[in-house]
Amino acid sequence: MLMKKNGAVIGLTLLTGSLLLLQGCSNKVAYQDATEVETTTIDFGSTDLQQIAAKMVDSLLTFPPIVEVTRERRPVMFVDRIKNKTTEHIDTESITDTITTRLLRSGKFRFVDMTKVADVREQLAFQNRGGMVNRNSAAQIGRQIGAEYMMYGNLSSIVKKSGDVKDVYYKFTLKVMHLESGIIEWSDEKEIRKTREKSLFGR
């Protein structure tokens, strides 16, 4: 009887011991600086996005002909999409959002948002034809400002792997076209290359 009890105790200790071990790897949450270099994985990440946006905005705002055009006025621009030609699902809208925000903040450009056209049309129709809104305060149809420039681009990548080393190369190309003349006023690219070597030990 006593023996049996002993055995049970050993078994229990073993079980609780393994449970304790498992407990040891519970999660931990901490806040980090959003602009800190992030290298959790080799995939497209926040640092890549920030580097691309910073380079593009600097390059565009310091380009002499653009400086000339934006000296006296704030031209209106619209953003076409950035084509994702990589092998990753990347939210390219997020890259253009960052770029447009920074350009707007610079006070040199103004933007029209093509993704909101349907909503705006609905609201204007409501104000002008809904019969609910005072005519004097209704925003009038047909008075929006047409964009002068179009911004568009490409994100492509080349991935290579040999043994334990993986190498990723991204190339982001951005262009600004003068809509009326069809001339590309400015273009620049940002290249990023990252490598990852498999660690020997780990979880």
Partner 1 sequence: MGLKKSMRWLVMSCMALLSGCATNSLFSPYPSQVAEIKQQIAVGDFATARKALEKKSLGPDRMLYLMERGRIAQIAGDTDASIQDFKQVLTEFEAKEEAAKISATGAAGKTGAVLLNENAIPYAGSAYERIFVHSFQALNYLWADNLEAAGVEARRANLEQQLALQANEDEVERATAQESAEETMILRQNPSYRRKFSSLTRLSSKVKNAIQNSYSFYLSGLIYEINGEYNDAYIDYKKALEIYPANHYLRQDVVRLARMLGMEEDLERFGQAEVREGMARPAKDEGKLVVLYEQGYVPEKHEVNIVVDLRGVPNNLVFPTYFDRASPNRPLVVGLSGRRLGETETIAEPAAMAARALEEQLAGMIVRQGLRAIAREQLKDNQMNSTFGILAGIGQLLLNRADLRSWLTLPAEVQLLDATVSAGKQRLTLRNGVQSKAITVDVRPGRITIVHVIAVSGQLHARTITI
Interface contacts to partner 1, rule CB under 8 A: 3-4, 6-8, 10-11, 14-15, 18, 41, 83-89, 159, 161-164, 198-203
C-beta of 6 vs 101, nearer to partner 1: 6
CB 98 within 8 A of CB 50: yes
Tell me how far, at minimum, the Cβ of 123 lies from partner 1, in Å. Answer: 26
C-beta of 142 vs 202, nearer to partner 1: 202
C-beta of 52 vs 69, nearer to partner 1: 52
Tell me how far, at minimum, the Cβ of 46 lies from partner 1, in Å. Answer: 18
C-beta of 86 vs 100, nearer to partner 1: 86
Length of the chain: 203
C-beta of 128 vs 154, nearer to partner 1: 154
Helix (H, G, I), strand (E, B) or coil at 85: strand
Tell me how far, at minimum, the Cβ of 81 lies from partner 1, in Å. Answer: 8
Q: Give CA–CA dist 149/176, Å, rounded.
A: 6
C-beta of 17 vs 130, nearer to partner 1: 17
CB 148 within 8 A of CB 120: no
Pairing of strands 76-85, 149-162: parallel
Helix axes 46-62, 92-106, angle to 10 degrees: 40
Tokens of 100: 């447009």
Tell me how far, at minimum, the Cβ of 147 lies from partner 1, in Å. Answer: 23
Q: Give CA–CA dist 195/141, Å, rounded.
A: 53
Tell me how far, at minimum, the Cβ of 89 lies from partner 1, in Å. Answer: 5
| Burial zone of 27 (CB within 10 Å; 0-12 exposed, 13-18 middle, 19+ buried) | exposed
Tell me how far, at minimum, the Cβ of 167 lies from partner 1, in Å. Answer: 11
